[in-house]
Chains A and B, each alone.
Chain A
Amino acid sequence: MRGQLLKGHLEFMILASVDAEPAHGYAVIQELKRRSAGAFDLPEGTVYPVLHRLERSGLLAGRWIVHERRRRCVYRLSAKGRRALAVHRETWPKFSSAVTSVLEPAS
């Protein structure tokens, strides 16, 4: 799937991927791939800038740990992120349906 299409949606997909439990960058990307059945084939490194932006905006909270002698940032959903995700989950079906309707060939 083209990266441009993902832009604007990737944020909430990332938020959804850490909704269940905190995860580090690699796990977030794997979860995105798993949930999308491999449809989101982005350069993995490009997900990290989004993670950073979500953390700066307060939707994610990062915590550094040491794993196998490597430093690793584990992200969890903040309360603000949880509220934003809930709102998005509520509005997304209507938005998606509306886009689908618009994109369908005129009958």
Chain B
Amino acid sequence: MNESPIASFLDKLREYLPDDSSLQARVLAEAEDHIRETAARLRLGGLAESEALERAIADFGEADVVAGRFIEEVPEERSWSIQLWFAKWSSVMAVLGFALMLPAVWPGGLEFALSHGRAAPFGVAAAAIALNLLAMTRIDLRWSPKRVSGSATWKWKALNSSVVALAAILLCVLSVQSWEEGPSERSRAKRKAVLSQKEFTATGVARTFDDSDIERSTATTMQAYRTDGSMALWSRTHVSLPELAPRLIELGAVVDHAVDRFATFAPDYQLISSQGIPRRPLNGYYHLMFNGRRREACSILLSALEQDPDTRRSTRLGYEVLFHDYGDMFGDNRRGAFTEAWIAPALDCYEISSLRRLGHPDPEQRRVLGRFDAVAITETEPAARAFEIPQGFEEGPPSRIRIELDKVLRPLLESNVSGASIAQADEQYRENRSDD
């Protein structure tokens, strides 16, 4: 129980006031201030403290009378916060605003953001903005029999965190853009330094294709990056056969599992996807990769591994297939080829020979473009021209590569491409060749 007369009076006043915490807090604060100031004046007039307090309380009025006047003057108002409503709409607005803003600052960015595996950071950023809007805004709607009123309260202090959220989303956009553009000169130089210290590059220029069936063919440069027993091949070729896409999935069906290792031994490249399809008892992996420096190439690397049934250890089988898609990945001018390469362990996994073929689902239409052997193997940095965009080819963002490849691969994945049918096709192909 409060011993102070003021506290007792305020307690009594609170009991009579409407059950509205904000109103009570306000009235009690003003009442206390008033009574204390009155008492102070009375004390100055010569009254004792206790007497001054009692007089001040009496002058203020009976608690029930004052409270009754409040009830009379201030009709009980119901107050509903529509904060949650606003939060709901602010979330929608934030997401819509982001969706509208993103294409303006980054054409194709929305498509990229919505592609697999990349919606999360954007979603988090949008949610952060929505949450900050929620924290910033409070709308109270009050109504009484006589009138309806509302007020909005903005907590501007929370704006700082909103700015942080916006900065985060901007950083996200810029970083992804930077990712598309490839590493900066500085980081590229750093990566090259690492490359030269821990890796070596073997470049073997074989020979120039000159096949009349090929709409566009150029020299092929084979490059091998090797670190700690892993190896990646990279080559360039420019052929014009859009029907390669079905072949990609057919060969993709022979892999057993995916291994995301490419980025570890080819730091100049950006791995954008990897997947495996268990079809045959052959361990392997393939990578859908993107040349981070330029945008001209999207390749799938398949490396077959041999697994010892006793030790369960995998060793390189000595066979690799490298697929390439080049140029306009998204229109009718898509080009591609694949290279089968044989590895010689005696040469420490250098590629020593390659057979370049045009892939096609129909074995009869597979064509051997040429066989070439790697010559003039040297340890050197990759040739700069290996990263030049060939004339007549266009750059495309990896997001579109991914999306377009999905369009091509998905229906094929859902179709009845099975290991048995592939084996049957291979058998038929071998028979045809032997007949030839």
Contact = CB atoms under 8 A, between A and B. Distances in A.
A44 B33 contact: no
A50 interface: yes
Nearest to A71: B29
Given A43-B60, A52-B74, A53-B73, A70 B33 contact: yes
Interface string A43-55: 1111011101100
Size class of the contact patch on chain A = 10 to 19
A13 interface: no
B61 interface: yes
Contacts of A46: 61, 65-66, 69
Contacts of A25: 30, 33-34
Contacts of B59: 43-44
Contacts of A71: 29, 33
Interface in B44-96: 59-62, 65-66, 69-70, 72-74
B261 interface: no
A46 B70 CA distance: 8
A26 interface: yes
A43 B74 contact: no
Interface in A8-31: 24-26, 29
B96 to A, nearest CB: 35
A24 B30 CA distance: 9
Contacts of B73: 49-50, 52-53
Contacts of B74: 49, 52-53, 56
A94 interface: no
B37 interface: yes
Given A46-B65, A48-B31, A26 B72 contact: no
Contacts of B60: 43-45
For chain B, what secondary structure do more than half of its interface residues adopt (helix, strand, loop), or is it mixed?
helix
B34 to A, nearest CB: 5
User: Most chain-B CB neighbours within 10 Å: which of A43, A45, A52, A56?
Assistant: A45
B191 interface: no
B30 A73 contact: yes
Contact of A70 (B36, B72, B149): B36
Contacts of B66: 43, 45-46, 48-49
A29 B38 CA distance: 11
A71 B26 CA distance: 9
B65 A44 contact: no
Contacts of B37: 26
Interface of B: 26-27, 29-34, 36-38, 59-62, 65-66, 69-70, 72-74, 149
27 contacts: A24-B30, A25-B34, A26-B33, A26-B37, A26-B38, A29-B34, A43-B62, A43-B65, A45-B61, A46-B66, A48-B30, A48-B66, A48-B70, A49-B69, A49-B72, A49-B73, A52-B26, A52-B70, A52-B73, A53-B73, A53-B74, A70-B32, A70-B33, A71-B33, A72-B33, A73-B26, A73-B30
